[in-house]
Structure 1
Amino acid sequence: MVLALSCFSAEDGHVFQNIVDCEYSREDLSDMVYLVKLVFNQKLLCDYDSRRGKYVGYDEFGIRNAEKFNNQSYKLAARKAELETVCKANARYYVNTTTREVPPVVTVSFNEKSYYGQLTVLECHMYDFYPKDIAVTWLKDETVVNEGIFQSETMANGDWTYQFHSYLELVLQQGEKVSCQVEHSSFKKPLVVLLDSSSLDNRIYKLAVGITSLILGLIVTVAGAFYYRWRTHRGFPGCAVVPLH
C-alpha cells in the first residue's frame, strides 16, 4: 500500500513528495514495515523506516532534516503509532474485505403483464455478493436454455459488493418449470431458484371463474325470459295486487 502527497511549484517546476509505504508478505502482518519517504525532484532526501525507528538523510539537506525530525520525540512517536493505525489497520481491513465471501440474494420473476402462451421476459436478479465473479444458467424443465438470454454487466454497489442481472425471453407454457441457476464461490453447489408461476395460474383460475359466472348469468337470463314467454303463451297472467275494502 503506497500513499503519496505531492506539492508542485508552477514557477520553477519543482516537485516535493511525501510518500508513505506499507510493505508486508505474511498474512499475520508480523513482518509489516512502515516507510515514510521525502522526495524532492525525484531525489530521495531522507526517509523513516519502522525497523530502525528513526529518520536517515541521504544528502546535506536530507541529513539536516533527519536530525531535526529525530530530535522531535512527538514525530517519532507518531511514526511508531502509524505502523499500527495506518499500515496494519488498513491491511487487516483489506485482507478481511478481499478474502471474505458473501452469497448473492437471488430472485426470479416475470413481467406483471405476462400470460401463458405469450412472449415474455423472465428476470433473474442477484444482489449484494462478493467476490465479483458469478455465473448464471437458465433451465427449462431441467434442460439448459441457450437462446433468448441477455445479461447486464457486473455492477459495483460501492460497498465492496456487486449486483448482476440476467434475462430470458421465451413463450412460457403452463406446466413448464423454469429456473435460474447461480454459481458463486460462496456456494458449495449451484443455487437453483425456481420461477413461481402461481400468479399466472391464479389469473387463469380467476378468468375461468369470471367466464363461468358470465355463462351462468346468461343461462339464467335466457331461462327466465323463456319461462316468462312460456307462461304468457299458455295464458298464465302475472300476479296482480287486489286492494281490500
Structure 2
Amino acid sequence: MERCFSVLLLGVVGPPCSGSSSHSLQYFYTGVSEASQGLPRFVAVGYVDGQPMDHYDSNTRKKVPAVPWMRKVERDYAELWRNSKRRSSELVFKQSLVNLQNYYNQSDGFHTFQLMYGCELRGDGGKGGYIQFGYNGRDFIALDKETLTWTAADTQAQRSKRKLDADRAGNQYQKSYLEETCIEWLRRYLDYGKETLLRTERPVVKVTSQAEHDGTETLVCQAHGFYPKAIETTWRRDGEVMDHATFRRDVAPNSDGTYHAWLSIKVDPKDRDRYRCRVGHDSLLEPLDFAWEETASNLGLIIGCVVGAAVALLVAGIVGIYFYKKHQDGYRAASSE
C-alpha cells in the first residue's frame, strides 16, 4: 500500500518512486494546513512515464504545461483544460485537513494531506491503476478497485472508510476512471509527446574498482544516459546472479530527462575477473555484460604516444623551417652572384 508519501511532504512533489517497464500517467496532490515562506497551500503535478507534464498551485491558480508538447494538448483540448478540477480539489483538500486534525485530535500546526492516483499500460497489454491518500507523510486510505472498497491504514481512517464504502456508485466511477478514462488520456499524451516519451537512449556503462581497508575490493557498475527508465542490472559471478551480495541505488533522473543507475558488490581481488555487470534495456537488442578493465596503463601509453607524436611533429616542423630558410638563403646568395 505504501507509495512513498515522504517525497510529497512540504509541497515538494517528486517523480514516482518506482519505475515501470511500460507507460504510466500519474498525479500527485499535496495540501498543507499552513502557508510558510511562500509555500503554496496546494500543489498538483501530473507525470507521464515519470516525466512532469503539468503543474498547478494555489499561489498562481493556473494549470501550467511543464513540457512543450503539452501546449498542443492545451490547444486541442482547450475546454477541458479550462475546466480542470484542480481548483475544486484545492477546496476539498483545505476542508479535509480540518477534518483530519479532528480525527487525530490534533491542534493547529503544520499538517499535510496528499493524494496519489494514476494508471498504467503494461508491456504485456495489462492495465493497472490506484488511488491512495496520505496524511502527514503516512498512509491513510486506499481504494481496492476490484472489491470497490477502501483499505484503512489505522483506526482514525476507519471513519473515512465507512463513508466511502457506502458510496458504491462513486467507487464504481473511480474504477471506470482508472481503467478507461485515465488509460485513454495516457494514450493521447503518448501520441502528443511521442518524440520524447517513446524514444530510446542507450545506456553508457562503466565498471570501476575501489580497494577497501580490509583487503577486499568494491566493483561499481554505473549506467547513465538511458531512456526509458526501466532497466535491468545485476552483478553475476561465473554467470550466477549475486543479488544477495549486491548493493544498489534506485534509478534516478538526470537533468536532461534521461536516467542513471548504480550497483556495487564487494569481491576478493583474486576473483575480480569472475564478475560481470549485466545490463538489459529496451535500447539494446540483448542484455550486455561488462567487466572491470585496467585502463590506467593503457591510458598512459596512449597519452605517451600522443605526446610523442606531437613532439616529433614539432621537431620535424622546426627542422623543416631551418632547412627551408637555409635553402632560401642559398638561393638568394646564388642569385646575387
Fold conserved (TM > 0.5)?
no
Greater radius of gyration (CA): 1
Measured against the shorter chain, the TM-score band is 0.3 to 0.5
- Superposition TM-score, scaled by structure 2 size: 0.33
- Superposition TM-score, scaled by structure 1 size: 0.44
